[in-house]
Structure 1
Amino acid sequence: MVHSSLLGQLTADATRDKIQHLAVGAVIQFNGKVLLLQQPSDDFMGGFRDLPRGTVEPHEGIDQALIRAVKMETGLDVTRIVHYLGDFDYESGSGEKIRQFNFTVDVASPEPIVLHEHDAYTWTALVEEPPVTDAVRRILAHYQERVSGR
């Protein structure tokens, strides 16, 4: 389980690094596969697959944002934030610095998945190389290392 002191340290580090916005991403697994959402073709990074993710609102903690984002993007209910998998920085379309914190989460049930902002979803075995960004690929590799105990 992720400790609240870690979440506070992540936020403090982002402030120190002059990050303008925080985001969260979730690795959700079921039967050895992870859930990936397909970005709409007309969206920023259109056509790529991505983790369920969202921004951290000013009144939220990282954990609250993660639970809310998973619910909004998939309809799934997070029951536990399991592990911190790392972060990556990127620049938004408007040029703002964003840091995305990524975690493995458990959900009450892997279905039904209800999409509001994405074209499709897939449960993907990580033996294949899904069409994700390099940053998400690194997070998924870290997840695989954790799962395999390396």
Structure 2
Amino acid sequence: MTVTSPEFVAGLAADASAAGITGFVAAAVISHDGRVLLLRRNPDDYMGGLWEVPSGRVEAGETILDALRRETNEETGLTISQVIGYIGHFDYGNSYGGTTRQFNFAVTVEKTEPIVLTEHDAHQWAQPDKLPEVSDAVRRLLTS
């Protein structure tokens, strides 16, 4: 079963729901020339100032992969050309008092520029061994 199959994606959602997860986020790990794309959260946002991979909430009626494509495009202006693999998830407390699960996928994009930010104040292509201020979960994701 491939990571893009409806059965695989539905299984991810079902497992998270069974674990009591209240929010789903889809995240894109975009690599280029040995570096990974990171976006910096606006200072006044929840977890402001932290760097993260492009990601966003899965909306009602949307699959995790639909959200992955939509959020990547909305946050960066980049278009995903291929979902290469599922690289795991991590859970964190959200601003609503519940628990969010972030589903992380390795992807390729049609072009790596221009990057057009709509929700973040900066971007960078970072080497996995020289990451800026990221959460412990993102550090583990990018260095494991």
TM-score (normalizing by structure 1): 0.90
Partner of 2:108: 106
Look up the match of 2:48: 46
In structure 1, the residue matched to 2:17 is: 15
RMSD: 1.1
Q: Following the alignment from structure 2 to structure 1, what is the Cα–Cα distance between the partners of residues 129 and 21?
A: 34
| Over 2 Å off, 4+ runs | none
Q: 1:122 aligns with which of 121, 124, 141?
A: 124
Q: Which runs of 5+ in 1 are unaligned?
A: 143-150
Matched residue SS, 1:73: helix
Question: Match of 1:87, as an amino acid?
Answer: H
Q: How many residue pairs get matched?
A: 142
1:51-90 equivalences under 5 Å are 51-90=53-92
Unaligned 5+ runs, structure 2:
none
Asked whether the 8 Å contact 2:4–2:65 carries over to 1, the reply is no
- Equivalent of 1:91, from 93, 99, 105? 93
Identity of matched residues, %: 45
Displacement of 1:127 after TM fit? 2.4
Aligned 8 A contact 2:40 2:50 in 1: yes
Instruction: Normalising by structure 2, report the TM-score.
Output: 0.94
